[in-house]
Structure 1
Amino acid sequence: MNYEVEIGHAKRARRVYSFDDIGVVPGRRTRDPELVSTAWSIDAFNFEIPVLAAPMDSVTSPETAIAIGNMGGLGVLNLEGLWTRHENPENIFKQLAEVTDERAAVQKMREFYSAPIKPELIRDRLAQVRDAGVTVAGSLSPHRTAEHYETVVGAGVDLFVIRGNNVSAEHVSHAERESLNLKRFIYELDVPVIVGGAVTYRSAMHLMRTGAAGVLVGFGGGASSSTRATLGVRAPMATALADVAGARGHYLDESGGRYVHIIADGGLGTSGDIVKAIACGADAVMLGSLLARATEAPGMGWHWGQEAHHENLPRGRRINVGSLVPLQEIINGPAVFADGLANLMGALRYAMATTGYSDLKKFQRIDIVHAVK
């Protein structure tokens, strides 16, 4: 089968697929939703639902990380955001929510994010989550990791996330900064590390060989991203996940049985997208805009990522996520409308039950169809 199309005499392009291009296929049996398990585990940590709250200021505060943890998921704190730059950021979130002009909002965000990251706030925010008795996870970008990781580990983090639009096995920094060699870094660290994003077989293999416990799959493709418009970069998630799942299988053989978890991070706009992500090989999903709709979310109806306030080239935007609903309703329902924006785990259970699968690993084997347009 030919997976390439000719763009012109000098260039061919690979045919790839987004979640909108595919669907899952019912099998020969069905089962009751109550007989379906959505449990997921990574390293020594077990979760009832395969959901990570994205390390984005508009999504995850210490309070929402605790709430997600109590629901059986994992909240990941952004350790270079407003929560670690300001002692009392609640007023800052309120100020941002009141600004409707986008140019003014970007200027405000640049002002607030220009404050230095305070190690004592990293320690205090992580301690707040740890004291609640849930799994503690924090995230840094590659160029901040070497500077702050000792504070993070010293604060008692359980899972360490290194997250960026594109994370490589060795990040080359400015001459004044220490370069991050992931393989050496992970080897010397005492906690499991999740790294990403990666969107190709080759990049995923490189990250798996560093010793990472999990790989984030995505390239700034979330609702608040404008990477496609500003950089011309696009990585449809169905193909990206299938490619990285292929790398996981080959690395499993290469390493003699070491399983690296795949976490879909981007392009997840509805519960149906979560179903398709797992069907393409994901073990769990990292959610941003879907959780930013929660009444408990710190963004107060607005959603943005780190790229939205970049000092030179914003590659994201602040978006209004619409009407707010309780976090419990988003995760476990009951849903009021049939729009795929609430009861996300109920939808996943029903999809698995309808197609006859009892757990997430088995559901990864489901048949997928592509609808030719």
Structure 2
Amino acid sequence: MSDIELAPGKRARQAYSFDDIAIVPSRRTRDPLEVSTSWQIDAYKFDLPMMAAPMDSVVSPETAIAIGNLGGLGVLNLEGLWTRYEDPRIPLGEIASMPDKHATKRMQEIYTAPIKPELIKERIKTIRDAGVTVAASLSPARTAELHKAVIDAGVDIFVIRGTTVSAEHVAAETEVLNLKKFIYELDVPVIVGGVATATGALHLMRAGAAGVLVGFGGGSAHTTRKVLGIEVPMASAVAEVASARREYLDESGGRYVHVIADGSVGRSGDIAKAIACGADAVMMGSPLAKATEAPGLGWHWGSEAHHPELPRGERVAVGTSGTLEEILLGPSHAADGSMNLFGALRRAMATTGYSDVKSFQRVEVLIHRA
């Protein structure tokens, strides 16, 4: 991100979103059938370089299983409705049917139900028994308190996800989370985020994260920019964190940390651009919330939407566009990049001559913002 002078004594950096950049075709093309979209983190390999965001409108135990069977990784929110209610279909139905003017307040009330460790165990067991990779998430504020129940339940990949995550989370009323010590004591890979700068990413990499989430998550259901004034356009954020990853690779003697774009990944072109900027995979919410199987019933929201003191998200209507399989793998019935997301990625890679995701990170991009 380049510096410009905002005013005497105050400098700012110019940054770019995915809409500000484009991928440049090369002299070589290849058959899409010769392209691999596979992604491997630690010992876990996936056919698709994607994670489904830990949002109650997107991932239930059932959709986590379905996404796993389709080649991706669904991440269950362990502070969501599935660990607060024996039958989450009741609050889900209420959230989907309530009028807009009451939505935020009522969601705050619904999410005051306590988290039950026995439900954490039950939900993780449901996913594990289906034979797919089990990924689950906690916020930094609840990780120290609840992580033992998660690990004991048999999670494969642990995700710590918040608006902004640092290497040490300090709170007056909860146990301090020292990320480096926490990760060192675990036997499972930990993915952490969000971050949007090289400095923040390096701290997480040095703490032992297997993967770093870039962005503030939430995407279309997020209002962090309006409420807090915080935002970093994603093309620049991903590219900067990927640059930090190269620095850490040299510093650590070859330890590779995965960069995962989390936010502003609404269409297939955004997936291709995220990887072109250096991401290994993407985390998606709203595209999957449109699936007929999605638990949000045509609505989408994140954990920020029901924060008890300062909501930084909202419930948004996304409708229904097709099945999970159609959205991820096709066939597509729309020409707007909202379906067959990874068929489109495969086509973009083939059109530019690249055979795998890692090599596609080297594709040429240009800035076309006016």
TM-score, L = length of structure 2: 0.98
The aligned runs of 1:58-69 (5 Å cut-off) are: 58-69=57-68
RMSD: 1.0
Does residue 298 of structure 1 match 2:295?
yes
Deviations 1:116-156 (A, max 9, x none): 00000000000000000000000000000000000000000
Q: Percentage identity across aligned positions?
A: 65
Deviations 1:215-258 (A, max 9, x none): 00012461100111111111100000000001110100100000
Contact 1:220 1:227 in 2 (8 A): no
Contact 2:218 2:301 in 1 (8 A): no
Give the whole-Å Cα distance in 2 for the aligned partners of 1:351 and 1:372.
21
1:285 CA displacement = 0.5
1:106 CA displacement = 1.4
1:83 equivalent in structure 2: 82
Contact 1:195 1:207 in 2 (8 A): yes
Contact 1:221 1:227 in 2 (8 A): no
Range that drifts further, 126-135 or 216-225 = 216-225
1:189 equivalent in structure 2: 186
Does residue 278 of structure 1 match 2:300?
no
1:103 CA displacement = 3.0
The aligned runs of 1:157-196 (5 Å cut-off) are: 157-174=155-172, 176-196=173-193
Give the whole-Å Cα distance in 2 for the aligned partners of 1:152 and 1:342.
33
SS of corresponding position for 1:41: strand
Contact 1:301 1:324 in 2 (8 A): no
The aligned runs of 1:349-364 (5 Å cut-off) are: 349-364=346-361
Give the whole-Å Cα distance in 2 for the aligned partners of 1:315 and 1:92.
21
2:109 equivalent in structure 1: 111
Which amino acid is the alignment partner of residue 355 of structure 2? S
Deviations 1:302-327 (A, max 9, x none): 00011111112111111000233111
User: Residues 326, 120 of structure 1: CA spacing in aligned structure 2 closer, same or farther, 3 A cutoff?
Assistant: same
User: Residues 133, 278 of structure 1: CA spacing in aligned structure 2 closer, same or farther, 3 A cutoff?
Assistant: same
Which amino acid is the alignment partner of residue 359 of structure 1? D
TM-score, L = length of structure 1: 0.98
1:264 CA displacement = 0.5
SS of corresponding position for 2:85: coil
1:107 CA displacement = 2.1
Which amino acid is the alignment partner of residue 137 of structure 1? A
Give the whole-Å Cα distance in 1 for the aligned partners of 2:310 and 2:54.
21
Contact 1:221 1:234 in 2 (8 A): no
Give the whole-Å Cα distance in 1 for the aligned partners of 2:134 and 2:5.
48
Does residue 321 of structure 1 match 2:318?
yes
Give the whole-Å Cα distance in 2 for the aligned partners of 1:259 and 1:201.
15
The aligned runs of 1:198-237 (5 Å cut-off) are: 198-220=195-217, 222-237=219-234
1:102 equivalent in structure 2: 100
2:137 equivalent in structure 1: 139
SS of corresponding position for 2:220: coil
SS of corresponding position for 1:223: helix
Which amino acid is the alignment partner of residue 220 of structure 2? A
Contact 1:330 1:341 in 2 (8 A): yes
Does residue 154 of structure 1 match 2:167?
no
Match for residue 367 of structure 1 among 330, 341, 364? 364
Which amino acid is the alignment partner of residue 112 of structure 1? I
Give the whole-Å Cα distance in 2 for the aligned partners of 1:89 and 1:154.
23
1:7 CA displacement = 1.8
Contact 1:142 1:167 in 2 (8 A): yes
1:250 equivalent in structure 2: 247
SS of corresponding position for 2:225: helix
Contact 1:169 1:206 in 2 (8 A): yes
Give the whole-Å Cα distance in 1 for the aligned partners of 2:319 and 2:114.
32
Instruction: Provide structure 2 residue ranges, at least 5 long, that are not aligned to the other structure.
Output: none
Which amino acid is the alignment partner of residue 110 of structure 1? Q
Contact 1:66 1:75 in 2 (8 A): yes
Give the whole-Å Cα distance in 1 for the aligned partners of 2:210 and 2:66.
24
1:96 CA displacement = 1.2
Structure 1's consecutive aligned runs of 4 or more residues displaced over 4 angstroms after TM superposition are none
- Counting matched residue pairs gives 370
1:5 CA displacement = 2.2
